[in-house]
Structures are given as structure tokens and as C-alpha cells.
Amino acid sequence: MQIVSCPSCGAEVKFQSHASVMAVCEYCSTSVLKDADSVKSLGKMSSVLEDYSPIQIGTSGVLGGRAFNVVGRIQLRYDAGMWNEWYLLFDDATTAWLGDSSGMYTITTPREVEGELPAFGQIQRGSNYAIGTGRFMAAEIRTADCIGGQGELPFKVGEGYQARVADFRSGGNFLTLDYSDDERPVVYTGVAVTLESMQCQLLRDDDAILRSAGKYRGKLSALDCPSCGGSIKYLPGMTAHLVCPSCQAQVDAASPKAQVLAAGEQVKKQKTTLELGAQAKMNNQVFTVIGMMVRADDEGTRWTEYLLYGTRAGFSWLVETDEGWSRANVMPEWPMGFGPNAQNVAVDKAQFTKLYEYGSVVVFAAGAFNWKVQAGDKTRITEFAKGQIKLAAEMTESELTWSRSTPVPFDQMKAWFGEKFSGKAPVAVAKDKGRYRSTAMGFIMVMMVINAIPLLANFSHTWLLSLFGVLAIYLPAWFLDTYNDGKP
């Protein structure tokens, strides 16, 4: 460990890693650059915004049998949201980065790769690239601004610093190309992790988060829309982008003071089966509806998606269509074999067959989201299925995501939400409308064919009996269909 004096205030600034070239003074936020045996000031570093993360400088853990400590952090913002990158120092003096975004965590470490690498401006999401000895699919391309920093870091960051990164996936493996400092990117590889799997210690509890940010992380709070004054419920630290249900204004709740990103128009309140704030108990966990979107496909068919949040389980979706309900979750491990003309993809050696490919557009949105969403957002969706399980690849201009969904019975929805659920039986049930009458008519036609010759030979004596027979078959069928159609 090396201890130096801050050139600005004189306080002690500690460098635990020899690989660190800069540290942010915890007393005056001056960026201190370490250069050989001297240090110099790079000016003030912006403080991180409202800090809801349970991780902090000093948090420790174990990964792959190696102990580590969190020694630094940068906070980054891009057009769809913001995230933290925590700088880790292991006991063997190696380092890594812990990505922290909406309660999802990834560990990445630098890796030497031979051969050509794609240029940043030429990467297309959804395309496959040979990187090192493997093939990876581009998942997201983004340019982010560094908006704050803490602790020690392995490179110089400050006002105006931009991170240009492209994320790739192959099954459960992550790969990032970082073009921030050079046209030849730094390659990072890694996997998804949880705080529990890393045995993290010295995490901040709810009270510590409340003291620093003024609100509890992950517990519903409310603010008044800066545009119209209407109340918007959101999850501090988890959902930074809000859409006012009343005026459709887009509000940034991540800044110290809520700001209107884009004004909306006063709209008629959408009638939905589930309301914002409705709660359900699923698998002994309480989930709250925090956001909702109405989407439409190329042919104008609409459906509604409800964003749910559970304190321990994170985010998931309930999707309502004319055919019924389904529950969907973002997939941490991606299917293999996906491409522009793929007819099948595989997950855990199970083959899923392509169903549909179509475009969708957001017609209406309201509530809180963990990414930026607004009416008019377009997505290209490709669906695959195996039995009742469906996989969906959703592509925007800069991002590709995968989700897995399973059907939810109508009665299960009523059991979960109780009186808060105002849904009606799905149209899929109504496909049986008229089934008794259809069966009866089929039987009548068969009988008419069988009796055609006797009826023609002696029409005056048999037509009345035939009429009675037809009515005897059809009227009970009509009664049964009417009774079943009237059922709730």
C-alpha cells in the first residue's frame, strides 16, 4: 500500500494496488494522479449520484477461491440509464471489474486476444464475431459518460471522459470490448454473479443507504411529476426512468433533483387489467406492478406488458394477450444458434423451433422502468417455442435481449392478485363458442345425407318428422352454447 497526501487538501490518499494510477480524495473529491514518486491534482471529480447500491468501497468477498476488496468505482450514464463499475483488488494483486446495473452483477477481467477485432463503428447487434478462439454475438453497443468516481482506479478519468463499449454473449459467457482509450479495444471476459455467490461482506444495509440517499433502495416511493404534479411511484436506486401516467412526461429520477427529460401530452387514462401498485404473492415473495406498456405488432394487434419487482427476486414481466397470460424473465444464459435465418435455437441441449418474426411499437407506457422507455420505441421480435415454453429475442437499434416465458392460467392470476385482478376469461377460452351447435349441425348434415333418398321419395310424409328430428338435435345444442357463453 502507498499513502500520499492530497495536493488539494492534504488528506491521506491510499493506493492499495500498484496498478492504480489515480485515486479520488474522499474528503475533497480531488482526482489525484500518481506519477512515479510524485502526485498531482487533476481537478475535482464529480461525486456519484444518489447511491443506492449495497456495495461500497471496502466491501470484500471471495471469487474462485480468491479473496478480494472493492477499492474504486466509476459511475456511467448512457441514453438508456446508468450503471456502476466497481474496481476489485484480489489478494494475489490481480484486478477485475464488477458491473452493477439494476441489481444484476457481472465480473469481468482483462484478457489478451490475438488477431483482428471489429471496429467500434462497424459492430451490429445480433451479428456474430470471431473473437479469440470463440464466436460471440453482439448484444449491446453504447457510448457512456463518466459522471462520478470514488477510490482508486487503473486509468485517468474525469470530466469529459467517455466509455465506448460493446458487449457480447455466448451462452452464459460475457465479453466486452472497451474502445475508450484506443481504436484497438481492451478485451474483458467474464460471467454473471450474485452477491451471495461471492460471499460479500461489509455491504451497506437499508439504514446506511437511507442516510446517504434519503430513501430506501428497492422500496416503493413517490414523487410529484415536475411537469403536471401527478404522483409517480418508483423504486429508488432501481428504476431511474419514469413515465408519468397522467401526462406521459419522461422523468429522470436518478439525478439529485427529478428532471423532465421530455414533455408528453395529456392522455386519456388507459384501462388495464392490473393497476400500478398492485401486489401479488408468488412463491412466497411479494411482487409489485411498477410499470406497464401497451405494445402493437405490424398488423395492429395489441398486448400489455406489466413490469413487476420483488425485493429478493428482482424484475420480471407479466404479459397479457387475447390468448391469455404468461410470465417472462430476462435470460442470463443465451440460446445457441441464433442468427438472421435461424429456424432453431438450443438452450441446455433443448431445441426450440421458430414461430414468428415481427415488429412491435410501444403505444403507451406508464410508471417506473429500469431503462428508458417511451411511446414510439420500436423492437424486432423473433419467437421460438418448445411445448408451452417460449423464447423471445428482442432487438432495438443498439441492443439485443432474450427472455423466456411460460403460460399462467387465468385462475392463477386471480389467486395471485385477488380483488386487484379485474381480468376476464381470455379469448382462447372463447374459441369453444358454438362448439355444441357446430357438432349438432355436422350430425344433422350426416343424417340428411343418409335420409335424402327416402325424403325425396315420400317428401309429404317425412318432412315433418325430419324437422322435429332437426329441432330435437339443434335446440339442446343451442341451449348448451348459450349457457356456457354466459359463464364468467
Q: pLDDT tens for residues 135-185?
A: 999 999 999 998 888 888 888 777 778 999 999 999 889 999 999 989 999
Do 335 and 187 lie in one domain? The reply is: no
CA dihedral 255, 256, 257, 261 (to 10 degrees): -10
Structural domain contains residue 291: yes
Kindly state the cell numbers that stand for 68.
478480494
Question: What integer pLDDT is reported at residue 432 of this predicted model?
Answer: 47
CA distance 428 to 414: 17
Q: Based on the domain organization, do 304 and 230 belong to the same domain?
A: yes
pLDDT digits (tens, 9 = 90+) for 47-105: 666 667 889 999 999 999 999 999 999 988 887 778 899 999 999 999 999 999 877 89
Residue predicted with more confidence, 163 or 440: 163
Q: Are residues 357 and 232 in the same domain?
A: yes
- In this predicted structure, the answer to whether residue 109 has a pLDDT above a threshold of 70 is yes
Are both 405 and 295 inside the same structural domain?
A: yes
Cell numbers at residue 426, please? 381470455
User: What's the whole-number mean pLDDT along residues 424-450?
Assistant: 56
Instruction: Please check whether residue 166 lies inside any domain of the structure.
Output: yes
Mean pLDDT, the chain, whole residue set: 82
If you average pLDDT over residues 271-295, what whole number do you get? 90
Position 452 scores a pLDDT of 55
Q: Residue 185: what are its φ and ψ, rounded to 5°?
A: -75, 155
Q: Say if residue 424 is in the same domain as residue 437.
A: no
Q: Are residues 293 and 423 in the same domain?
A: yes
Is residue 225 within 8 Å of residue 210, measured between CB atoms?
no
Of the residues 137, 159, 193, the one at which a domain ends: 193
Work out how many domains the chain is built from and give that number: 3
pLDDT of residue 448: 59
**What is the domain extent for residue 452?**
432-485
The band of 207, judged by pLDDT with boundaries at 50, 70 and 90, is confident
Same domain, 272 and 336: yes
Q: Does the pLDDT of residue 247 top 50, yes or no?
A: yes
Verify that 459 and 334 share a domain, yes or no: no
Are 423 and 440 part of one and the same domain?
no
Q: What is the C-alpha separation between 9 and 39, in angstroms, rounded? A: 13
DSSP 363-382: EEEEEEESS---TT-EEEEE
Give the per-residue pLDDT at 487. Answer: 45
Last residue of a domain, one of 428, 452, 467: 428
pLDDT at 246: 81
Single out the residue in 177, 193, 209 at which a domain terminates.
193
Same domain, 138 and 126: yes
Q: Is 151 within the bounds of a domain?
A: yes
Residue whose C-alpha is closest to residue 233's, from 216, 248, 249, 245: 245
Section 381-396 average pLDDT: 96
Same domain, yes or no: 480 and 407: no
- CB-based contact 193:64 (threshold 8 Å): no
Q: Residue with C-alpha cell 463503428?
A: 121
